[in-house]
Structure formats: structure tokens, C-alpha cells
Amino acid sequence: MENVYQNALYFELISAGFNVEPQKAIDVFYKTHLVGKYKADLLVNDLVILELKAVDYLVESYELQLINYLKATDKEVGLLLNFGSKPEIRRKAFENSRKNLRKS
């Protein structure tokens, strides 16, 4: 079901003029080492990670997952969107100045 919401949100954001990349691979770092890639549900304007869920309610582990993505990538802002029985939004931020990422 999350894929259906992802597709609909993708088209709405594109229609609103945003640059949106679905299932965008983002480099993940451990200290200064590239250790893999994470696929963001949606990446908006190469700045904001959108993590989508379709569950009864959001649990802390979903929020922690998004925070870990922000800590391990060069992205600073993430939105956790739940399209379940009770729509919910959580905004998370983690400044790049607090990260020890490889410089390009």
C-alpha cells in the first residue's frame, strides 16, 4: 500500500513544481567511510528525505530510522509521513555541521 501512496505523492509533488526522485539511492557514511547506500522513498529537491508508511500508528523505531538516515547521509531534513488510519507527520532534522562525512 505504501507504494500506492508513494506514486500518488510523487505525481502531486511533480505537479507542484518540485524535483522528486523516487527510490533514490543516497550514499551512507560511517565516520568518513562510504559504507553503502540507502534508498529514500522519495527525495525532494535533493534536500528532503520523505519516508512513507501506511500503518495504524507511527512507532519510535520509524522515527529513529529516519534520524539514522539523516545522520548517515548529507541530507539534513526528513519527513516521516503515515497514510494509515490516522494520518501523521513527523519532521526530523540533523545538521551537516554535526556530521563527520566525507567531503567531495
Q: What is the pLDDT of residue 103?
A: 54
The whole-number pLDDT of residue 73 equals: 84
- State the pLDDT at residue 92: 95
pLDDT digit string (tens) for the chain, length 104 residues? 788 999 999 999 999 999 999 999 988 888 888 899 989 999 999 999 999 999 999 999 999 999 988 988 889 999 999 999 889 999 999 988 877 765 54
Count of structural domains, the chain = 1
Residue 104 placed within a domain? no
CATH code of the domain in which 62 resides: 3.90.320.10
Tell me if 61 is assigned to some domain.
yes
State the pairing for strand pair 77-82/48-53: parallel
Is 60 a domain residue? yes
In a domain, 23, yes or no: yes
Q: Is residue 87 part of a domain?
A: yes
Domain span at 9: 2-98
Residue 103 lies in a domain: no
Give the model's pLDDT for residue 87: 92
**Which set of grid coordinates corresponds to residue 47?**
534536500
Residue type, 82: N
Is residue 89 in a domain?
yes
- What is the pLDDT at residue 102? 59
Q: Confirm if 13 and 42 have CB atoms less than 8 A apart.
A: yes
Q: Can you give the pLDDT at residue 40?
A: 92
pTM of the model: 0.86
